[in-house]
Amino acid sequence: MVKPSSQARDRDTEQRILDAAHAVFLRRGTAGARMQEIAKEADANSALLHYYFRSKERLAEAVFQRAAMQLMPAVIRILGSDAELEAKVEQVVDVELQQLQKTPYLPGYILSELTHHPERVRQLFSTVTGVTPTEVGRRVFKVLGAQINARVKAGRMHPIAPEQFAINLLALCVFPFAARPMVMALVGLDQAGFNQFIERRRRELAPFFLRALRR
């Protein structure tokens, strides 16, 4: 039997710590997370955490980058693609809600991190795309704007700024998860009921959004 190399063991240990930190940070946020809890979750000692990541801040940055990568690349790719506008709406809704059902703590975590660490916005976009947030926005909104203007001129859609179009769509996807405890309490849902609520939303959100814009 071939034993794993020390390099492979190092990668496995680092990945196990990152998995544990991801779970703890998403549950607690950076401020509430404790290295001891992460070590326990990873079945490792605190010295190993410091060996691989040096500090809680470096570990938090690694977790944030990993969390953002679960959503941002797909959404940016879809909105900036040459697909028809209606297909983009359907794809964004499907991608966002599928992923967020798997990681419901993700929106609250990312929003909290960006509120307390606004410098991570630039880090986030440069990691995901290799360019600044302004450059990403310019590219995506240029494509969306051209598609919207063509439909407005054809009398098929009400005018709307491309940035409003994109933010409205993303907000409708993210809000139920960012405010999940409130939504569950307000509507009277347990976890199973919330999952059914999101499944229905996956079917109904894209048609609702597009109907609001059509003439």
* Higher-pLDDT residue of 134, 211: 211
Domain boundaries 6-66, corresponding CATH code = 1.10.10.60
pLDDT in tens, 59-80: 888 887 777 777 788 888 899 9
DSSP per-residue codes, 149-212: HHHHHTTSB----HHHHHHHHHHHHHHHHHTHHHHHHHHT--HHHHHHHHHHHHHHHHHHHHHH
Are 75 and 95 a contacting pair, CB within 8 Å?
yes
pLDDT the model gives residue 129: 64
Residue 211 burial (C-beta neighbours within 10 Å; 0-12, 13-18, 19+): exposed
What token pair was written down for 168?
A: 């409205």
Average pLDDT over residues 7-21: 82
Q: Which long-range contacts (CB under 8 A, 24 or more apart) does 28-35 make?
A: 29/108, 29/109, 29/112, 29/113, 30/56, 30/60, 30/112, 30/113, 30/116, 30/117, 31/116, 33/60, 35/59
Mean pLDDT, the chain, as a whole number? 87
* Higher-pLDDT residue of 205, 22: 205
Multiple choice CATH, 70-213, 3.40.50.1370, 3.10.450.50, 1.10.357.10, 3.40.718.10: 1.10.357.10
Where in the chain are the domains?
6-66, 70-213
Q: Is the pLDDT of residue 6 over 70?
A: no
* Higher-pLDDT residue of 84, 60: 84
* Higher-pLDDT residue of 182, 106: 182
